[in-house]
Structure 1
Amino acid sequence: MDDIDSLILIAVLIALTAFFVASEFAIVRVRRSRIDRLISEGNRRAVLAKRIITDLDEYLSASQLGITLTSIGLGVLGEPAFERMLHPLFAGMGLPDSAEHVISFAAAYALITFLHVVIGELAPKTVAIQKAEKLTLWIAGPLRLFYLLMFPIIWVLNGSARLLTGLFGLKPASEHEGSHSEEELRILLSESLKNGEINPSEYTFVNKIFEFDNRLAKEIMIPRKEMAAVSTDMSIPEMLDMMLKDKYTRWPVTDGDKDSVIGMVNTKHLFSDLLFMTEEEKAGLSITPYVRPVIEVIETIPVHDLLIKMQRERIHLAILSDEYGGTSGLVTTEDILEEIVGDIRDEFDEDEQPLIQKLSEQHYVLDGKVRIDQVNHLLGASIQDEVDTIGGLVLKENIDITAGESIYIGRFTARVLEMDGRFIKQIELKEKSGRLGALETKNHQLPVPETIILQNATLSEK
């Protein structure tokens, strides 16, 4: 065989190596969902590609066998051929024969290794990772043909490998599920956001859906203290004054006390009838005919389950009960949707303030209902406590706290801005100018800044 024939054969072997390397990476990288979509669109090559990625273990073995055979061929043929071609270059240098042979061999070996690694391995791997779908469709036919031709050898090799890996309790690649855990999906989303494949809004929505599934109804409820309700012992004018003031669509109806919610009334139904009533009819009007059923559930029900129940029963308001049977709060479908899409404001929400207001860097105003996990995310902290909200945390440490007084949360000063009785409505959170060491509280001693440092004090005392 002359040098030209050798070079042609070497080029063919490198090309085959590149084919098998690209096949191996492409069939592992390609998305099954995309192949299924192409099949539904009538792509015939996708049908064969689906068969290959379904029997992944078999075709990975075929790719590995192809890479091994071509690599052996390059070693047997390439190195001697290059050595023969390079030998004349070193012959005229006056080197000893042994040195010429060693140098020629080393140069030939380096050259064939370079071509094999760069052209046969690295380049096709990069292409396969970036163009996995197109390459899988292209290589499906040839790889299937090679698999059929080499089936006996592949069967023996696969069987031997399965016996070996079976000793360690490992399964073939084709038996592994292609699903991703929630944490893996979050990582994929972060990478997609970083690479510009999705926008920040999409990233936020999907992350909120993950968090939504772990929420309990009591974490998003309107607490009993803030519930606006009408009572059966109120007159219609009194009810109308309340409804026109607060402008809610649905109102819980109580039998004199918030622990006894008998249903709800939709203001649209009431107001539409009032338009066509005489003054005499309005004077004798009772709220009872307008009362509709309301969902009553325990406050620890998952938000996801509550949403399904509300959809199934077509009721948009749920009353939450605590473990003692008392009313703890209410949840509307709007409250649930806001967990995914953020605040939803209508024409009556002009004065509504967001739960978290950022005034400047490291300076916030928080609603007392902001959850501890939200505070942790905001501050990069790891506060852990049995209470659910920042207001509850402050109140737990100082039941007698009043508006204007402060406590410390890590490196932040938390000052109560507004209260309604014992209920903390707003808190200002601002980073302190200096840093404090660990302070002992009546409950525990905690480090700064990850966990909470609490000490009752007014701002004037600090």
Structure 2
Amino acid sequence: MAGDILLTIFLVILNGFFVAAEFAIVKLRSSQLELKLSEGIIKQTCRHILQRLDAYLAATRLAITMVMIAIGYIGDIVTLEVILQICEWLEYDPPAEITGHAVEISFVIMTFLLVVFGVLAPKSISIRYPLATTLFVALPLRAFYTIFYPVIFLLNGVANLVIRMFGIKPLAGNDAAHTEEELRIVIAESVRSGTINTNEQHLIEKVFEFDNRFAKQVMIPRLKISGIDINWEKEKVLETVIEEGYSRMPVYRDSIDKIIGIVYSKDLLAFANSQQDLNLENIMRPVYYVPESKRIKDLIREFQKKKIHLAIVTDEFGRTVGLISLEDIIEEVFGEIYDEYDEEKVIIIDKVNDKEFTVNAVASIVDVNRLLPQPLPENKHYDTVSGLILYKLGKLPNVGDRLKVGKYEVVITKKSHLGVELVNLKLIR
């Protein structure tokens, strides 16, 4: 009898071993393996398991099934032997009803042992410590996989055939890659746990948004482009370059819609203290045009490939709608970059109280929404708060005009002939 009891305990432990293995290899990420473990036979075995995750899951399922069948077979015998032995120790003659219900008693006892010690406990441990558990089970699991490979291959092949009938692609390996939304959740949880700080979270969020940003959303609009007329005298050209402080400026003929080149400030240095005549056509560089629908992730690669820092943004009719620089693109991830020559930082939002905000209407909707408790509606037809208001009203409003936008009451507080410059937002509950 002692041997049967020990065999039952061994089978329960064996069941727990394969349950732990199953949950651990599913929970383990390949990045944990690569970062925390040096090269060796254990790491190679773990890598082999993760690369064939579907097959190894089939192996654990096969092992668990085999163990449970064995427990079911031997459980009745062991339970009856234990009952009879206890009755013998107590010098008690058990009635036939007790021995007749050995199957039911065995079911209750075996279920309890299996669920607690063979499933729940090993599952909790493996989920809590997936790497340590995988390292512990790796070699025995690989040995079981090798021995029963023909059976596993057959069972897994039939199972894959069945799920393909339902239009589901079988898992080819450790395909547990996180989606962007899942990564955002992981990052938010990491912030709450203190693993990363809010500045790092903001930077990562910017990287995610970078993929979906277009030249139109990042460019300096046409009305704010500072350029040089090809017909200007040398003195006016130099004065403009010094006043504006840019390292590169577009050169146009007659109007900003006819940009014909880009002049570098460094190329004008030779003319600053010289009597030499300045001919902009001889020193200006070719213009690089991009459509307003150009993704900035593609544009930055083109900047790197062509070794340029500036492009002119055009609409579908070839008209100039803006200017975009390498610095503008970099600022989409890292925020505004200022040097000693830049003006004081423009305030996008001034918080009056928890429900009221003064907002720079020329600012990007995306930038404003990052700072508001409730977002303003975004749309492909506008990029700024001013554009949103003009889109809603269909005309240029007057100071003091009010309108409802999203969850806010908007009051126009400042405007120019070009558009709205300053608004007050009041959150409506």
Cross-structure match for 1:452: none
Specify every segment of 5 or more residues in structure 1 that has no aligned partner in the other structure, as ranges.
436-462
Q: CA deviation at 1:225?
A: 1.0
Query: For 1:67, which of 48, 64, 67 is the aligned residue?
Result: 64
In 2, the alpha carbon distance for the partners of 1:297 and 1:91 equals: 93
RMSD: 3.4
* One-letter identity of the residue aligned with 1:419: K
In 1, the alpha carbon distance for the partners of 2:88 and 2:288 equals: 92
- What TM-score, normalized by structure 1, do the two folds share? 0.79
**Partner SS state of residue 232, structure 2:** coil
Does the aligned pair in 1 maintain the 2:24–2:133 contact within 8 Å? yes
Specify which structure has the bigger relative contact order, considering alpha-carbon pairs within 8 angstroms and separated by 6 or more residues: 2
Task: Indicate whether 1:251 and 2:266 are aligned.
Answer: no
Does the aligned pair in 2 maintain the 1:414–1:430 contact within 8 Å? yes
1:53-77 CA-to-partner distances (Å, cap 9, x unmatched) read: 2222222121111111222333333
In 2, the alpha carbon distance for the partners of 1:323 and 1:52 equals: 53
In 1, the alpha carbon distance for the partners of 2:99 and 2:363 equals: 78
Query: For 2:125, which of 127, 132, 135 is the aligned residue?
Result: 127
Cross-structure match for 1:387: 382
Q: CA deviation at 1:110?
A: 3.9
1:298-349 CA-to-partner distances (Å, cap 9, x unmatched) read: 1121111211111111111111112222210111111111111222222233
Query: For 1:366, which of 356, 359, 373 is the aligned residue?
Result: 359
Cross-structure match for 1:222: 220
Does the aligned pair in 1 maintain the 2:349–2:368 contact within 8 Å? no
Does the aligned pair in 1 maintain the 2:52–2:174 contact within 8 Å? no
Q: CA deviation at 1:222?
A: 0.8
Cross-structure match for 1:458: none
**Partner SS state of residue 261, structure 2:** strand
Alignment of 1:250-289 (within 5 A): 250-271=248-269, 273=270, 277-278=273-274, 280-281=275-276, 284-289=277-282
From the superposition, tell whether residues 47 and 338 of structure 1 become closer, same or farther in structure 2 (CA, over 3 Å).
same
Alignment of 1:40-189 (within 5 A): 42-78=39-75, 80-82=77-79, 84-85=81-82, 88=86, 97=95, 100-101=98-99, 109-174=107-172, 177-189=175-187
In 2, the alpha carbon distance for the partners of 1:90 and 1:253 equals: 107
**Partner SS state of residue 401, structure 1:** coil
Does the aligned pair in 2 maintain the 1:192–1:198 contact within 8 Å? yes
Specify every segment of 5 or more residues in structure 2 that has no aligned partner in the other structure, as ranges.
none
* One-letter identity of the residue aligned with 2:396: D
Does the aligned pair in 2 maintain the 1:343–1:354 contact within 8 Å? no
Q: CA deviation at 1:287?
A: 4.4
* One-letter identity of the residue aligned with 1:364: F
Task: Indicate whether 1:306 and 2:299 are aligned.
Answer: yes
The range that moved more, 81-90 or 261-270, is: 81-90
Task: Indicate whether 1:429 and 2:396 are aligned.
Answer: no
* One-letter identity of the residue aligned with 1:425: E
The range that moved more, 177-186 or 140-149, is: 177-186
In 2, the alpha carbon distance for the partners of 1:235 and 1:361 equals: 54
1:122-152 CA-to-partner distances (Å, cap 9, x unmatched) read: 2222222233233323322211211222234
In 1, the alpha carbon distance for the partners of 2:168 and 2:121 equals: 31
1:201-237 CA-to-partner distances (Å, cap 9, x unmatched) read: 3332222222211111011111111112222333344
Q: CA deviation at 1:90?
A: 12
In 2, the alpha carbon distance for the partners of 1:211 and 1:81 equals: 63
1:412-454 CA-to-partner distances (Å, cap 9, x unmatched) read: 232334433223333332235xx7xxxxxxxxxxxxxxxxxxx
In 2, the alpha carbon distance for the partners of 1:353 and 1:344 equals: 12
Does the aligned pair in 1 maintain the 2:348–2:368 contact within 8 Å? no
Cross-structure match for 1:330: 323
- What TM-score, normalized by structure 2, do the two folds share? 0.85
Does the aligned pair in 2 maintain the 1:356–1:370 contact within 8 Å? no
Give % identity: 33
Query: For 2:332, which of 309, 316, 339 is the aligned residue?
Result: 339
**Partner SS state of residue 312, structure 1:** helix
From the superposition, tell whether residues 192 and 99 of structure 1 become closer, same or farther in structure 2 (CA, over 3 Å).
farther
Q: CA deviation at 1:353?
A: 0.8
In 1, the alpha carbon distance for the partners of 2:235 and 2:395 equals: 38
From the superposition, tell whether residues 48 and 164 of structure 1 become closer, same or farther in structure 2 (CA, over 3 Å).
same
Cross-structure match for 1:450: none
In 1, the alpha carbon distance for the partners of 2:100 and 2:340 equals: 86
In 2, the alpha carbon distance for the partners of 1:310 and 1:203 equals: 27
Task: Indicate whether 1:349 and 2:346 are aligned.
Answer: no
Q: CA deviation at 1:259?
A: 0.7
Cross-structure match for 1:460: none
* One-letter identity of the residue aligned with 1:182: E
1:225-265 CA-to-partner distances (Å, cap 9, x unmatched) read: 11122223333443444344443332222223111112223
Cross-structure match for 1:459: none
The range that moved more, 410-419 or 120-129, is: 410-419
1:13-66 CA-to-partner distances (Å, cap 9, x unmatched) read: 222112111111222222234445679x53232222222222222221211111
Q: How many equivalent residue pairs?
A: 425
* One-letter identity of the residue aligned with 2:344: D
The range that moved more, 212-221 or 365-374, is: 365-374
Does the aligned pair in 1 maintain the 2:55–2:156 contact within 8 Å? yes
Query: For 1:406, which of 391, 402, 408 is the aligned residue?
Result: 402
